[in-house]
Amino acid sequence: MSAETMSVFSPALAARFDLLVEKYPLRRSALVPMLLYAQDEVGYLSDAVVSEIAHRIGITELDVRNVATYYSMLRFKPVGRYNIQVCTNISCMLRGAYELFDRFQEELKIGPDGFDRDGIFSLEEVECIGACCWAPAIQVNYDFHDELKPELVPGLLDGYRGRALAESEGKDA
């Protein structure tokens, strides 16, 4: 993709993708990482994201979608600025993951649109995140929180609310 063409990605990410597709013996090997990194920046795999990635790799949009739908971290709809992922798989379940999930539900009161009232958080139950010995564990975006207890949930959420506020004030300034 030439530099003049409009990109959905920031210049930094576009430059990173330019390098990434050349890194492998086969261009297409860049597909899964590109989808994930694009999602990290844009929030989800929008039509424009799918289209640009297909173009960059040189495959069809259908091919991109066919691969993307296989991976459970990849999504076609936006989530909250902080997406809370509670692992409820066996090791976490044994140490109270469902009680933790219930507490998040109570605190966040996620609406039918999938977000909390302030539109900051979204919540999902996920499979094993590889923190079994530090259960119950959650991820907020990519940050791990180990050995979390239901009573710590309000404080954790307040911390992220504060960060969200600081970020939006920073943008306004």
Residues within the interface to other proteins (CB under 8 A):
23-26, 28-33, 35-36, 57, 66-67, 70-74, 88-91, 93-95, 98, 127-135, 139, 142-144, 146-147
CB of 4 to other proteins, least distance (A): 27
CB of 99 to other proteins, least distance (A): 9
Closest by CA position to 115, among listed 77, 169, 155: 77
Query: Residue 137 burial (CB < 10 Å; 0-12/13-18/19+)?
Result: buried
CB of 143 to other proteins, least distance (A): 8
Closer of 47 and 127 to other proteins (Cβ): 127
Closer of 73 and 165 to other proteins (Cβ): 73
92-97 contacts, C-beta under 8 A, 24 or more apart: 92/128, 92/131, 92/132, 92/135, 92/136, 92/137, 93/136, 94/135, 95/135, 95/136, 96/136, 96/149, 96/150, 97/135, 97/136
CB of 149 to other proteins, least distance (A): 14
Closer of 19 and 119 to other proteins (Cβ): 19
